[in-house]
Chain A
Amino acid sequence: GAGVSQSPSNKVTEKGKDVELRCDPISGHTALYWYRQSLGQGLEFLIYFQGNSAPDKSGLPSDRFSAERTGGSVSTLTIQRTQQEDSAVYLCASSLEWGAGYTFGSGTRLTVV
Chain B
Amino acid sequence: AQSVSQHNHHVILSEAASLELGCNYSYGGTVNLFWYVQYPGQHLQLLLKYFSGDPLVKGIKGFEAEFIKSKFSFNLRKPSVQWSDTAEYFCAVNALSGTYKYIFGTGTRLKVLA
In the complex the two chains form, is B104's CB within 8 Å of A98's CB?
no
Interface size of B by Cβ–Cβ distance < 8 Å? 23
A-B contact pairs, 21 of them (CB 8 A): A33-B100, A35-B104, A41-B106, A42-B105, A42-B107, A45-B101, A45-B102, A45-B104, A50-B100, A56-B100, A56-B101, A58-B101, A91-B43, A93-B44, A99-B51, A99-B96, A102-B36, A102-B102, A104-B36, A104-B43, A104-B45
Taking A33-B100, A33-B101, A43-B92 as given, write out 16 further A-B residue pairs in contact, using a Cβ cutoff of 8 Å, ordered by the A residue number.
A31-B100, A33-B102, A41-B106, A42-B105, A42-B106, A45-B104, A48-B100, A50-B100, A58-B101, A91-B44, A98-B100, A102-B36, A102-B44, A102-B46, A105-B43, A107-B43
**A106 within 8 Å of B by Cβ?**
yes
Whether B25 is near chain A, meaning CB under 8 Å from some CB there, is: no
- Which residue of A42, A48, A50, A101 is within 8 Å of B104 (Cβ)? A42
Residue of B nearest to A6 (CB): B43
B46: contacting residue among A31, A59, A101, CB under 8 A: A101
Contact A40 B43 (CB under 8 A): no
Q: Does A42 lie within 8 Å of B51, measured CB to CB? A: no
B2 CB, nearest partner CB in chain A, Å? 10
Size of A's binding interface in residues, CB under 8 A: 24
Q: Which of A41, A98, A101, A107 contacts B34 (CB 8 A)?
A: A101
Chain B residues within an 8 Å CB radius of A42: 90, 104-107
Distance from A6 Cβ to chain B, minimum over Cβ atoms (Å): 9
Q: Which 6 A-B pairs have the closest CB atoms?
A: A42-B106, A43-B104, A104-B44, A106-B43, A45-B101, A101-B46
